Amino acid sequence: MNVPEQAGQNNAYHNNNIANKNISIVDNNEDLGEEPGATVLIGNPVKTYPVITEFEFFPPQNDPHPILDEAEVIVTLDDHTWNLWLAGGKKGTAIREVKGGGNKLRILSDDAKISNIKFGGKEWGTMHLSFNFLTEEVTNKPSYLYHLKQIESESGTVTGGESYEIIPKFNRLMFMAQGDQVNNTTNQTFILQATAINEPAIYNWYDEEGNLMHSGQQLNVNSAIAQTYKLEIIAEADGYKDYTNIYADSSYKLQSLSPNPASSQVTVNYQTAGADSGYINITSTQTAISNNYILDVNAASVNIDVSTYPLGTYVVSLTCNGEIIATKNLIIQ
């Protein structure tokens, strides 16, 4: 013994033949559920004064196939720690908040960090790390290592840590996320249908901004705006997952402008059957001056006199039921 026996990390730091080893085994062959991982205690359970803390996440050095190449790593904080992180300005490196996911952060690279969490004296919380293998990325590697380290920001002292050994499921039958737009119940509602996989699963739908829209095999979208939705399928037994993008095509369309370029008149061809209201807007890109033209929603085209419009470029937009559906450029010469 180089120094007397003592509590905490310094005991191992100052003495020979003493090591701290915290390890969690995440064995997917045991069917760990949709968030396979482990929960650890974090915080400031010993000191009586506040401490600003950060957490580092990383694989072993020189690992040729780190787990982030084949799986998603998600950090889930308990409500109290999440609020401390929000109060600290949501600081971190290579992390992204999972929208609609509930206190979850996705690790984006092998040098990720959560920073500026201020724990009061003898204040603590919990952190769960989950490892969701991606069915199109996972290989035959038998196991993976991953590390979590807690550090006092001011002194740089390591105050805790955890290692994770993650074992994929042997001989697992993989699946692919698939789906399609099956039909429209009305002209204003899309139905997107996920193709069921051969096991219990969770089906999540996200919009183009990454917001969770719905959980379920079928998504009804009460909007006439065409856009792409992301479908996420998660196996309930072991958290394996896959993604696909599904395009929802609008029943309302701005089909064409003829002629283009135009000089005296332009014909706007559109599809608005079933809409309660619709109009065409023509806006100058030079002056931002615009004009609206009310549409007969049961017709297919409208002729617009542009002979008095100054020469230049314009944006023609179609709006149905108060929502902009599509735009096209028009040149007047």
Q: Is residue 211 part of a domain?
A: yes
* Whole-prediction pTM: 0.76
**Average pLDDT of span 190-204:** 93
In this structure, the answer to whether residues 270 and 153 fall within a common structural domain is no
Q: Can you give the CATH number for the domain in which 324 is found? A: 2.60.40.10
186 in Cβ contact with 274 (< 8 Å): yes
126 in Cβ contact with 42 (< 8 Å): yes
Q: What is the DSSP string of 148-165?
A: EEEEETTT--EEEEEEEE
Helix (H, G, I), strand (E, B) or coil at 10: helix
Written as six digits, the tokens of 162 are: 């955890």
Q: Is residue 174 part of a domain?
A: no
Provide the residue range defining the domain that includes 86: 9-167
Dist. CA 282–CA 266, nearest whole Å: 11
Q: Tell me, what's the pLDDT at 271?
A: 87
Residues 6+ apart with CB under 8 A from 129: 37, 38, 40, 57, 73, 74, 75, 76, 146, 148, 162, 164
Q: Tell me, what's the pLDDT at 188?
A: 59
Query: C-alpha angle 223/228/230, rounded to 5°?
Result: 110
In this structure, the answer to whether residues 161 and 14 fall within a common structural domain is yes
In this structure, the answer to whether residues 138 and 216 fall within a common structural domain is no
In this structure, the answer to whether residues 306 and 212 fall within a common structural domain is no
Q: Is residue 2 part of a domain?
A: no
pLDDT digits (tens, 9 = 90+) for 256-303: 999 999 999 999 999 888 788 999 999 999 999 999 999 998 999 999
Dist. CA 79–CA 202, nearest whole Å: 24
